[in-house]
Structure 1
Amino acid sequence: MDDLDTIRFGGGCHWCTEAVFMALKGVVKVEQGFIAPLENMGNFSEAVIVHYSPEIIDLKDLVAIHLDTHRSTNNHSMRNKYRSAIYYFKKNDKPVLLKIMSELQQDFNAPLITDILSFGTFKSSEEQFQNYYFSDIDKPFCKTHIAPKIKLLKEKYVQHVSTRVT
């Protein structure tokens, strides 16, 4: 198997974020739960850990997809629960992520509010919520909130969409 890299994303609901990344080629595993940054280990928000093959999908594409599939320019009232963030593990990842964010900013009309934070700790969601979308895509929440994100993937990132998503 290819060597895998790992990136962690927080944005909208982790059910939505999990589905987005599970729908991509090159993503081997998505862990859904709550992440707290190293700077504030008690401040958890919904997030995912994405294990991917950089030979199939690169980090810049993952970041672009993340920014496009949640409100990455909107500092709304639920930001404590749904922190817009990219969490890095290795210190030398931060400048890489800052450069990617700077390059992607041109694709947005408003400033990106997504934080780049050092990863602190992770708590997994309850098993009943894992694989939320793909376990029953006809649930009302899935149709209302997740299906539009999957549609966006099929339209804007079709080259990265897995055959799992038809």
Structure 2
Amino acid sequence: MKRSKHIGLGGGCHWCTEAVFQQLEGVLEVKQGYIASKIPADSWSEGILLEYNPSVISLEFLIDVHLETHASTVFHHRREEYRSAIYFYNQDQCSEVEVIMSSLSRKRNKSYITQLLPFVKFKESRESIRDYYRTRPEAPFCKRYIEPKLALVQQMNSKSKRGL
């Protein structure tokens, strides 16, 4: 059995990102919080840390889900707080993510603004907002923003399992 692996992801609100990845088979743990990288991306930005089992879920599928469930092709005025990023832990992982992102860009015919950044530090969100969707599924924010993303991920999962 392969050992678990880790990666950091930053997209929109970490409540959404957390909920999306909590539903995927093969994701062992999702920590919601704030991630910082190296200068100039050393400010705290909302994100998650993922632990996953690569024998159950591929890094390519995780990145595809990430890119499809937040504004990964659009610049906006709050990008410092909501950085579109993939945080790698070592150079081998960085190289693997570069190949995956290039392949997904061609496959989807999209130009991603998502930054590939070294992981430097993480601070977990306060306990009262962790597991946001699981503890508040009826909240207006969840209905408006999270549930459409969960529906999209279910479609992606279904296509992936059918080999499409």
Contact 1:89 1:119 in 2 (8 A): yes
SS at match of 1:157: helix
- Do the aligned partners of residues 42 and 95 (structure 1) sit closer, same or farther apart at CA in structure 2, a change above 3 Å counting? closer
TM-score w.r.t. the length of structure 2 is 0.92
Residue of structure 2 in register with 1:61 after alignment: 61
When structure 1 is superposed on structure 2, of 1-10 and 48-57 the one drifting more is 1-10
CA distances 1:40-92 after superposition (whole Å, capped 9, x unpaired):
47411000001110010010000000000000000111111110000001122
Whole-Å separation in 2 of the counterparts to 1:102 and 1:61: 14
RMSD: 1.8
Q: Distance in 2 between matches of 1:39 and 1:79?
A: 15
What letter corresponds to residue 122 of structure 2 in structure 1? F
**Same amino acid, percent of matched pairs:** 41
The CA deviation string for residues 104-153 of structure 1, in whole angstroms up to 9 with x for no partner, is: 00244441000000001001100011100011211111001000000101
Q: How far does residue 37 in structure 1 lie from its aligned partner after superposition? A: 0.6
Change in Cα spacing, 1:33 to 1:99, as seen in structure 2 (3 Å) is same
Q: Does 1:80 align with 2:70?
A: no
Q: Paired residue for 2:30?
A: 30
Aligned ranges 1:5-44 → 2 under 5 Å: 5-40=5-40, 42-44=42-44
Partners in 2 of 1:14 and 1:27 — Cα distance?
16
AA matched with 1:125 = S
Q: Which amino acid aligns with 1:81?
A: E
Using the TM superposition, give the Cα deviation of residue 39 of structure 1 relative to its aligned residue in structure 2, in angstroms.
3.4
Correspondence for 2:127: 127
List gaps (5 residues or longer) in structure 2. none
**Cα gap change, 1:38/1:81 in structure 2, threshold over 3 Å: closer, same or farther?**
same
Secondary structure of 1:57 counterpart: coil
Q: Distance in 2 between matches of 1:18 and 1:135?
A: 12
Gaps of 5+ in 1: 162-166
Give yes or no for contact 1:41–1:121 (8 Å, CA) kept in 2.
Answer: no
1:122-161 equivalences in 2 (<5 Å): 122-158=122-158
1:164 alignment partner in structure 2: none
Aligned match of 2:95: 95
For 2:124 and 2:40, the matched residues in 1 are separated by: 18
SS at match of 2:76: coil
Report the more deviating stretch, 88-97 or 48-57. 88-97
The DSSP-based 3-state class of the residue aligned with 1:29 is strand
Equivalent position of 1:118 in the other structure: 118
- Runs of at least 4 residues off by over 6 Å: none
* 1:73/1:48 CA distance change after superposition, 3 Å: same
Instruction: Label 1:126 to 1:91 Cα distance change in 2 as closer, same or farther (>3 A).
Output: same
Q: What is the aligned residue count? A: 161
